[in-house]
Structure 1
Amino acid sequence: MDIQVEHTVYNDLNYNDKGRFNSFWHQIDAALALKPKTIMEVGTGNGFVKFVLKKNNVAVSTIDIDPKLEPDILASVLSIPVGDNAFDVALCCQVLEHLPYENFVPALTEIRRVVSGHLILSLPDMHRAYRFNMQLPILGEIKFLWTLPRLKSQEWTFNGEHYWNISNKNYSVGRIRSDIEKAGFKIEKEFCVFEMSWHRFFILKKK
């Protein structure tokens, strides 16, 4: 597997924008709601999620293929050198699109092997979504995403980082859900981040 993202990108403010920090918040919120003692984070990133989880007394081990990111486990998600059920929960956010799609189910299957409970997964979704946010008397804040289907799915070719994205041609959200089930997970919850609508989250439970 080739390293696609230079390690310095994760410290760049263009990468760490407001929307991404909202996505980090959802990762942390979803993880803490499961009350795990141990978490495996696939993809080291900038270390923010691990930092906050550790402050909440969760033991976090990161796995990555880039030694410059100094992961706890230097390995591919396709072959994780730990025993079965080694972690309570796994976090794998904005990572698997960096692998050819034929590796999607094998990667999920390997993650399933090393967790005893849940996987928090997020993937890029190129659907069109519009944000509505209103503050009304008595009712308070009302916000929602409105998705507008495309008449024709857009083609996608490898751009040096992403091999595929949800909602591009041949990668419908229905196909993703089916393959998640095929890998041995049940979808408990699914949502897109309001502030960064192209981050689609799946809260998955090991079958």
Structure 2
Amino acid sequence: MSRTNRIAARTMGAVAVVALGLSLGACSGGSAPAAAPSESVSATASPSPTELSPEEEAIAQAEPLVSQYFQMKDEAMQDPAAFRHQQFEKVAIGTAQNDLKRFHGAAGEQGLHQTGVTEIVSLDVDKVDLTFNPKVTPPEIPYVDFNVCYDVTNLDTVDEAGDSIIPADRKDRGVIRVGVANYDYPDGPWLVAYTEYLKDKSC
């Protein structure tokens, strides 16, 4: 799939989003991998600053949005009635934001809520493209693709009676691609723009 199609024309329908959410649980919670401990520097040494490349800087800024996005998705599903969907604008844009709103609305209408959270097992950078040409059609927007391994062992979705609706054959682990984009690069915010469950991958 081309980069422009990912940004401008991702078309995961509301039905598919809800079906995936209810069968897999809301992918959220967890945290990005912790940074490696820094090495100690002797008092006589003067460490030289390390300048990040534009790609490295983009990854550093985009990566926190992955866990923030999933945490907010968790929060929305744990108490759909109390959650205000305008909060999704803090972490998502485009089809990702629309999918969250549809997912949250469907859960509320059906009287469903989530217990537990999803653990992010690992997060790997799949691709970085910093091309910025918003005036072409479709626009070319900088993005970072992450492949995220998630675990939903401790997550359940239940109805108003407290009964689980999760299929018994649900796989507890899976991989989801998360695209984080910056529509006003380089000064604009990085926001999750699309997600895609990778059914052919495991972790």
TM range (shorter): under 0.3
* Greater Cα radius of gyration, structure 1 or 2: 2
TM-score w.r.t. the length of structure 1 is 0.25
TM-score w.r.t. the length of structure 2 is 0.25
Name the one with the larger strand percent: 1
